[in-house]
């Protein structure tokens, strides 16, 4: 279970942030004055996070952080498919666990942004797992019902804008890996 939570810590958290920034927040920052934008960057306390945000702002989908985000998701979904291919229902064998709870929001983000199919269309075990996760009442009450319709619409529209480029970056990653 801890290894699945570590997957979030080691890449999916930043990956979801990168995709969201590239799809939505970058455009918002473009509409800020240079002074407000600089102030916002200065207010990011973590230098690594500030560098990532500045790179995403300046380079958009050409930022190396996008390639890394694609790679983090690719590594995670590959490991999930491998683990689930033995017929188990859940990542920690026979029970819904912290593994699903940790991963679900990061998988949901891709789904909201219409990009999940890039990673799971050819991974039937992960697709079946995701269907089971989404069927749980706790998922509906704690994820689906907590995302306002206007936010879901914004994520969908933003994701549709970047999806073709993300698909291309994923192809580059797969050729590289």
Contact 16, 106 (CB under 8 A): yes
Q: What is the pLDDT of residue 19?
A: 95
- Integer Cα distance of 137 and 10 in angstroms: 28
For 145-177, how does the pLDDT look when each residue is reduced to its tens digit (9 = 90+)? Answer: 999 999 999 999 999 999 999 999 999 999 998
pTM of the model: 0.93
Position 69 pLDDT exceeds 90: yes
- Integer Cα distance of 41 and 54 in angstroms: 7
Structural domains in the chain plus CATH codes: 2-176 (1.20.1050.10)
Mean pLDDT of the chain: 94
Closest CA to 100 of 122, 125, 80, 120: 80
């Amino acid at each position: 279970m801890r290894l699945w939570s570590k997957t979030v810590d080691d890449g999916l958290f930043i990956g979801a942030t990168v995709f969201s920034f590239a799809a939505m927040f970058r455009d918002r920052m473009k509409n800020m004055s240079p002074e407000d934008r600089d102030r916002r960057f200065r207010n990011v306390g973590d230098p690594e996070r500030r560098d990532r945000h500045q790179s995403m702002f300046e380079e958009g989908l050409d930022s190396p952080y996008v390639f890394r985000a694609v790679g983090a998701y690719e590594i995670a979904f590959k490991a999930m498919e491998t683990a689930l291919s033995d017929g188990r229902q859940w990542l920690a064998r026979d029970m819904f666990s912290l593994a699903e709870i940790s991963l679900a929001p990061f998988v949901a983000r891709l789904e909201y942004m219409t990009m999940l199919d890039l990673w799971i269309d050819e991974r039937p075990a992960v697709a079946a797992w995701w269907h089971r996760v989404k069927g749980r009442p706790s998922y509906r009450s704690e994820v689906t019902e907590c995302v306002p319709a206007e936010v879901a619409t914004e994520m969908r529209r933003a994701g549709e804008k970047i999806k073709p480029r993300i698909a291309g970056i994923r192809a580059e990653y797969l050729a590289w890996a």
